[in-house]
Amino acid sequence: MALLTARSLCVGYEGQAVLSEINFEINAGDYFCIIGENGSGKSTMMKTMLGLQSPISGSIEFGDGLIQNEIGYLPQQSVVQRDFPASVFEIVLSGCQNSLKKKFFYTKEHKALAMENIKRMGIEDLKDRCYRELSGGQQQRVLLARALCATKRVLLLDEPVAGLDPIVTEEMYQLIKQLNDEGLTIIMISHDMVAVKDYATRILNVNDMEGVSC
């Protein structure tokens, strides 16, 4: 059964459709890319998938026991974060907020999980460093580790290489590929057509909304 199914989905703002008649299925283990130019509606679609806004019509269904809040999300960086005084560990730990449920404080298990994902991203030595002092690539790894704390199965990456230099971009793609190989389902938003072709197993091009090509 598919993890995520879109059925004649129509997304947009305030009743105005940006994209319509979207149909796709994302299966466990996929490396699914949504590509399109700026303003093509990728972000709107992503927000709909995350449940941040509701679809105009049609539906997104979650299957195989996946819950919407269990998608690990890597957002684009915001202005606020650039001068935020927080240590890497604090930020990664905040990825566990969806498993806090009714509790107020993080448990030992949460902290262990955060530590495990910090190691997984190879940023152990940055654990106590301040987020705002890190390079762009390092910051992305921190946010990726945080996303991994929020999910065991699905990662949704919004332009994960935006603003990174070519070498770091390549490293980032390798890292994502590695996570995919470890069994995580990847959903990536991008406008980098070329790179996406090398890695993605399936591509949805929202510029020519005809459907899913492989």
CB burial of residue 168 (10 Å; 0-12, 13-18, 19+):
middle
Q: Is 1 or 100 the residue whose CB approaches another protein more closely?
A: 100
The correct pick among 125, 128, 182, 208 for binding another protein (CB under 8 A) is 128
Exposed e or buried b per residue across 82-108, where buried means at least 16 C-beta atoms within 10 angstroms of its C-beta: eeeeeebbbbbbbbbeebeeeeeebee
CA 98 to chain centre: 15
CB of 58 to another protein, least distance (A): 20
CA atoms of 134 and 99, how far apart (whole Å):
27
CB burial of residue 55 (10 Å; 0-12, 13-18, 19+):
buried
The correct pick among 150, 172, 184, 189 for binding another protein (CB under 8 A) is 150
Q: Is 75 in the site for another protein (CB under 8 A)?
A: yes
Q: For the window 103-122, what string marks contact with another protein as x by the rule CB under 8 A?
A: -xxx----------------
Stretch that binds another protein, among 69-77, 134-142, 161-169, 182-190 (CB under 8 A): 69-77
Q: Which residues bind another protein (CB under 8 A)?
A: 50-52, 68-71, 73, 75, 78, 80-81, 83-87, 90-91, 94-95, 97-98, 100, 104-106, 128-130, 133, 146-147, 150, 156
